[in-house]
């Protein structure tokens, strides 16, 4: 009997197979290590390193490298990475910023000379490529937080094998690959390095990425120099310059990972949520959380836990708090080495109380401005960035690692013989000299990546995140509130979500611009009753239902929670988002 094959070319629309969610998932428990990520083979890579004696940090890098092979339209060595690491030895949270700078020669004047008159660098313009930070972040994570039992070469070995031997493409990711097929063909002469016989691989088809394996071997052998100097660096500069970019070898050679102090907000004098500081946007979630607490303290709304979950009353308050938070952070979040970011001011009780007073519990407030009292400019680009993240627990410690190319495959440009695409994080800059996040040479842009960790009474509560561009802090707020209600990690991720004005990826056209701002549309995920959506519209929200492929707006989350059983032994409990291909898996 001939094998059964699916003719993916005859599928009219990805909604046919995507986001129907016909199955359910259980919480995954473990008394040893545990890995949760958006792709099963990447989870297996992390478990392999745990079994070799690696710790959470080692396994997180192994998983992240494997995600580059299995989900290259989301993340990779051509992008950036951030992480939070909970060290059980001293009960502290440590942070790593693995984002890169713009080329030194890339000025606002140069961008204007190329005819860029909009508010952002277009996604497919190779001047949007900032120095990729993921490679250095991987090496530095192993060196700084790793166990010492495994080397960088050991940690990269599973990903190298996957790339050389080939991986069967997962269902949801395969559909994303199909949507970006033309981008890969158009962006550089090397599109075939990441295609299968000239086409995007379909779900279930096996693709080999031998040139990506060669890139990984350079890093395994030479460390950071294997990426930021030599063959790979030269190929990066060549493809960028051939498309009118100004990246130089010196820009790559000068890159360094930054170890930073995480920022936090303590809610209800008990629960502390940690985020990476700017230039990441995790501050948005903390400001929104502080506004929610002030709303309850001032009696403007009743306690959130007394509201029906995902009722119109409940959703309205969260939406309004996030709109106010974004009004501040989309103005102030920038590279703190270049611009002052008033983190303490934004998280002060007095300021949060003043913001909370702007919320009407019965209707929307159309006048949202940041505290400098200047009308918020629209800087949001018209897509949701794609990212992959991994959560690893071992030896009572947890690592949350998240990496991204920004818009899907990023620019889609592949340095010759390297097997990865270059990110377009530079599209996060604003082409306005008066804006704190304005484009400058040697500067880091506003960054959407934001891992999170939560402590309760100074003890680890859970590690979590929800990838997806500007959805990320929105997902943090919603999943956190679910966990505070006593939801299991899987229930918290399964719960339908909303997303404020985060457009769908448009990686084929690379378009950017003013498709909406934080005062416009709110997407409500299918599963929330129609009556609730109608009530939100009556309160003034431009509420729209997201179903099918639109549900990708809601991001993809992972959660690992620490529990203690009656005998006093700790147990890890994990959930993995049903909006992705992955799962959580325990170590035995």
195-247 pLDDT tens trace = 999 999 999 999 999 999 999 999 999 999 999 999 999 999 999 999 999 99
Average pLDDT of 160-168?
98
Quick one: pLDDT at residue 397?
84
Provide the edge-to-edge strand list for the sheet that holds 583-586. 258-260, 92-98, 80-87, 397-406, 386-394, 34-37, 583-586
Beta strands 542-546 and 521-525, pairing class: parallel
- For residues 455 and 462, what is the distance between their CA atoms, to the nearest angstrom? 7
Is residue 573 helix, strand or coil? Answer: strand
Structure tokens that stand for 359 in this block: 């919320």
pLDDT at position 113, please?
92
Please give the Cα distance from 358 to 324 (Å, whole number). 9
Instruction: Give the N- to C-terminal CA distance of the chain in Å, as an integer.
Output: 39
- Once rounded to an integer, what is the mean pLDDT over residues 34-53? 96
**Residue 345's pLDDT band (cuts 50, 70, 90):** very high
Whole-number pLDDT of residue 516 = 33
Q: What is the mean pLDDT of residues 144-149?
A: 95
Using a cut of 0.85, tell me whether the model's pTM lies above it: yes
Distances (CA, A) of 396 to 1, 16, 56, 113, 483: 51, 42, 9, 54, 20
pLDDT exceeds cutoff 60 at 560: yes
Q: Is the pLDDT of residue 375 over 50?
A: no
Q: Report the alpha-carbon distance of residue 388 to residue 430 in Å, rounded.
A: 25
Predicted pLDDT at 88: 87
The whole-number pLDDT of residue 387 equals 59
DSSP 440: -
Given a cut of 80, is residue 3 above it in pLDDT? no
Q: How far is CA 333 from CA 196, 198, 371, 437, in A?
A: 40, 41, 13, 7
- Pair 166, 77: CB distance under 8 Å: no
Residue 318: predicted pLDDT = 98
pLDDT of residue 527 exceeding 50: yes
Distances (CA, A) of 99 to 16, 81, 134, 340: 37, 6, 7, 18
Output helix, strand, coil percentages for the chain, rounded to the nearest 5. 35, 20, 45
- Cβ(260)–Cβ(276) below 8 Å: yes
Q: What is the DSSP string of 312-368?
A: HHHHHHHHHHHHHHHHHHHHH-S-TTTS---HHHHTSHHHHHHHHTT-BTTB--S--
pLDDT, position 513: 33
Arithmetic mean of pLDDT over the chain: 90
Tens digits of residue pLDDT in 314-329:
999 999 999 999 999 9
Across-strand partners of 264? Answer: 274
pLDDT at 468: 86
């Amino acid at each position: 009997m001939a094998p059964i094959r699916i003719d993916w070319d005859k599928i009219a629309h990805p909604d046919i197979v995507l986001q129907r969610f016909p199955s359910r998932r259980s919480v995954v428990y473990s008394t040893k290590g545990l890995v949760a990520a958006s792709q099963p083979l990447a989870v297996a890579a992390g478990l392999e390193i745990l079994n070799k004696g690696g710790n959470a940090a080692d396994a997180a890098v192994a998983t992240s490298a494997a995600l580059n092979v299995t989900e290259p339209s989301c993340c990779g060595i051509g992008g950036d990475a951030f992480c939070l690491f909970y060290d059980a030895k001293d009960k502290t949270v440590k942070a790593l910023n693995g984002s890169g700078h713009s080329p030194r020669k890339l000025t606002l004047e140069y961008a204007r000379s190329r005819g860029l008159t909009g508010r952002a660098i277009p996604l497919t313009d190779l001047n949007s490529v900032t120095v990729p930070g993921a490679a250095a972040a991987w090496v530095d994570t192993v060196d700084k937080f790793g166990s010492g039992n495994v080397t960088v070469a050991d940690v990269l070995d599973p990903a190298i094998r996957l790339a050389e031997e080939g991986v069967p493409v997962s269902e949801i990711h395969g559909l994303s690959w199909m949507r970006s097929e033309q981008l890969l063909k158009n962006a550089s002469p090397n599109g075939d390095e990441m295609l299968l016989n000239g086409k995007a691989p379909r779900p279930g088809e096996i693709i080999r990425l031998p040139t990506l394996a060669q890139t990984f071997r350079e890093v395994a052998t030479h460390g950071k120099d294997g990426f930021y100097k030599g063959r790979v660096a030269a190929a990066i500069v060549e493809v960028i310059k051939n498309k009118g970019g100004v990246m130089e070898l010196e820009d790559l050679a000068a890159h360094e990972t930054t170890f930073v102090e995480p920022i936090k907000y303590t809610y209800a004098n008990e629960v502390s949520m940690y985020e990476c500081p700017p230039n990441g946007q995790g501050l948005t979630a903390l400001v929104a959380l502080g506004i929610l607490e002030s709303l309850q303290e001032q009696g403007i709304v009743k306690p959130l836990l007394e509201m029906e979950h995902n009722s119109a009353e409940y959703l309205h308050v969260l939406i309004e708090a996030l709109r106010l938070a974004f009004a501040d952070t989309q103005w102030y979040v920038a590279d703190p080495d270049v611009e002052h970011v008033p983190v303490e001011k934004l998280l002060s009780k007095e300021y949060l109380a003043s913001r909370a007073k702007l919320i009407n519990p019965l209707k929307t407030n159309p006048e949202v401005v940041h505290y400098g009292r200047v009308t918020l400019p629209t800087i949001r680009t018209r897509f949701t960035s794609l990212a992959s993240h991994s959560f690893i627990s071992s030896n009572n410690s947890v690592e949350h690692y998240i990496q991204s190319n920004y818009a899907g495959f990023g620019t889609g440009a592949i340095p010759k013989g390297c097997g990865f695409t270059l990110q377009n994080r530079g599209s996060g800059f604003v082409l306005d000299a008066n804006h704190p996040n304005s484009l400058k040479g040697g500067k880091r842009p506003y960054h959407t990546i934001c891992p999170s960790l939560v402590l309760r009474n100074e003890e680890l509560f859970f590690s979590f995140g929800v990838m997806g561009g500007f959805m990320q802090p929105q997902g943090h707020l919603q999943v956190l509130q679910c966990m505070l209600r006593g939801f299991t990690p899987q229930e918290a991720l399964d719960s339908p979500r909303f997303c404020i004005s985060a457009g769908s990826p448009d990686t084929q056209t690379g378009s950017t611009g003013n498709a909406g701002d934080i005062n416009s549309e709110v997407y409500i995920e299918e599963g929330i009753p129609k009556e609730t959506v109608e009530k939100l519209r009556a309160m003034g929200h431009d509420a729209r239902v997201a179903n099918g492929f639109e549900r990708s707006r809601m991001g993809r989350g992972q959660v690992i929670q620490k529990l203690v059983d009656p005998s006093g032994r700790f147990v890890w409990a994990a959930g993995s988002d049903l909006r992705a291909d992955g799962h959580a898996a325990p170590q035995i």
